[in-house]
A = this chain, B = another copy of it.
Amino acid sequence: MLVVMSHVATAEDVERVCAAIKAMGYTPAPMPGAQRTAVGLVGNDGRVDDSLIAELPGVAQVIHVSKPYKQVSREWRPEHTIVTIAPGVSFGGTDVPVIAGPCSVETEAQILESARAVKAAGGVGLRGGAFKPRSSPYSFQGLGKQGLALLALAKAETGLAIVTEAMDDEGAHLVAEVADCIQIGARNMQNYSLLKTVGRIGKPVLLKRGMAATIQDLLLSAEYVLSEGNPHVILCERGLRSFDSTSRNLFDLTAIPVVHQLSHLPIVADPSHGTGRRDKVTPMARAAVAAGADGLLIEMHPHPEQALSDGAQSLNIPQFDELMVQLRRVAAAVDRFISTPSAAGK
Q: List 10 A-B contacts (CB under 8 A).
A: A45-B138, A47-B140, A49-B139, A51-B311, A56-B305, A61-B65, A63-B63, A136-B223, A137-B220, A246-B262
Chain B residue at smallest Cβ distance from A210: B212
**Is A79 part of the binding interface, using a Cβ–Cβ cutoff of 8 Å?**
no
Cα distance A56–B305 when bound, in Å? 7
Cα distance A20–B305 when bound, in Å? 9
Instruction: Say which one of A83-91, A144-152, A174-182, A236-244 lies at the interface with B.
Output: A236-244
**Is A214 part of the binding interface, using a Cβ–Cβ cutoff of 8 Å?**
yes
Are the CB atoms of A136 and B65 closer together than 8 Å?
no
State how many angstroms separate the Cβ of A250 from the closest Cβ of chain B: 6
**Is A124 part of the binding interface, using a Cβ–Cβ cutoff of 8 Å?**
no
**Is A332 part of the binding interface, using a Cβ–Cβ cutoff of 8 Å?**
yes
Are the CB atoms of B220 and A244 closer together than 8 Å?
no
Residues of B contacting A34 in the complex (Cβ-Cβ under 8 angstroms): 27, 29, 40, 42
Residues of B contacting A280 in the complex (Cβ-Cβ under 8 angstroms): 254, 257-258
Chain B residue at smallest Cβ distance from A239: B254
Are the CB atoms of B291 and A287 closer together than 8 Å?
yes
Are the CB atoms of A310 and B51 closer together than 8 Å?
yes
Main SS class of interface, A: mixed
Cα distance A139–B292 when bound, in Å? 33
Residues of B contacting A289 in the complex (Cβ-Cβ under 8 angstroms): 290
Chain B residue at smallest Cβ distance from A46: B138
Residues of B contacting A29 in the complex (Cβ-Cβ under 8 angstroms): 33-34
Residues of B contacting A310 in the complex (Cβ-Cβ under 8 angstroms): 51
Instruction: Say which one of A111-119, A154-162, A189-197 lies at the interface with B.
Output: A189-197
**Is A309 part of the binding interface, using a Cβ–Cβ cutoff of 8 Å?**
yes
**Is A337 part of the binding interface, using a Cβ–Cβ cutoff of 8 Å?**
no
Are the CB atoms of A254 and B250 closer together than 8 Å?
yes
Are the CB atoms of A47 and B138 closer together than 8 Å?
yes
Contact of A215 among B56, B137, B227, B244 (CB under 8 A): B244
Residues of B contacting A227 in the complex (Cβ-Cβ under 8 angstroms): 137-138
Cα distance A232–B283 when bound, in Å? 25
How many residues does chain A have at the interface if contact means C-beta atoms less than 8 Å apart? 110
**Is A278 part of the binding interface, using a Cβ–Cβ cutoff of 8 Å?**
yes
Residues of B contacting A68 in the complex (Cβ-Cβ under 8 angstroms): 135-136, 138
Cα distance A283–B29 when bound, in Å? 37
The 8 closest A-B CB pairs, nearest first, are A212-B212, A51-B311, A290-B290, A168-B193, A187-B190, A31-B31, A51-B312, A34-B42
Are the CB atoms of A275 and B254 closer together than 8 Å?
yes
Chain B residue at smallest Cβ distance from A286: B290
Cα distance A332–B333 when bound, in Å? 8
**Is A342 part of the binding interface, using a Cβ–Cβ cutoff of 8 Å?**
no
Are the CB atoms of B329 and A220 closer together than 8 Å?
no
Are the CB atoms of B254 and A247 closer together than 8 Å?
yes
**Is A308 part of the binding interface, using a Cβ–Cβ cutoff of 8 Å?**
yes
Most buried by B among A47, A243, A334: A243
